[in-house]
Amino acid sequence: MTAIVLASSSKYRRQLLEKLGLVFLSCSSDVDESPQSGESPDALVHRLSLAKAEEVGKTYPNHLIIGSDQVAVLDQGILGKPGGRDAVIQQLAKQSGRTVQFYTGVCVFNSATGLYLSDMDVCSVYFKTLNTPQIEKYIDLDRPFDCAGSFKSEGLGIALFSKIVGEDPNALVGLPLIKLVALLEKFGVNII
């Protein structure tokens, strides 16, 4: 089997990729994730997924590299990873009673040939109307400081939503496995 590297140090992405039963390495990339002027969310996640894979490909020159990136969008503005408690409170209050779009890009890059394929999943998250005590309790229990959109859908964050609409629930966590399986198959990696 072809050696596979996940271009991420995210424990969430590693856990998702483990679901496929693949043997893989994990290596973080040092890519500036800032959007370029006028860049759309879908263009951003495609660009960053490839950039992360290419960066890791410099260290692993004969591998299939999986890159992924995710952005949350509300009112045409990108919501970054909050980092701290106050930022989480602000993001969740802003999302309360609203719908947020999550764009999750995935790329498989053959570092030996330079060939790559990429795809993207879009998921809509419908937030319940949340009050400050609910938001604070959620933060204390789930600590979503490193998550786009300030929640962990694989954890208690699911209680914040009235519904989720998308093709792949894994994409919301950070890696669209359905799209990834299709891309890997095109590179000759069959999961089953």
C-alpha span between 14 and 62 (Å, rounded): 20
3-state secondary structure (DSSP) of residue 126: strand
Q: Please indicate whether residue 69 is annotated as part of the active site.
A: yes
**Which of 32, 42, 69, 119 is flagged as catalytic?**
69
C-alpha span between 66 and 127 (Å, rounded): 30
Show which residues are catalytic.
69
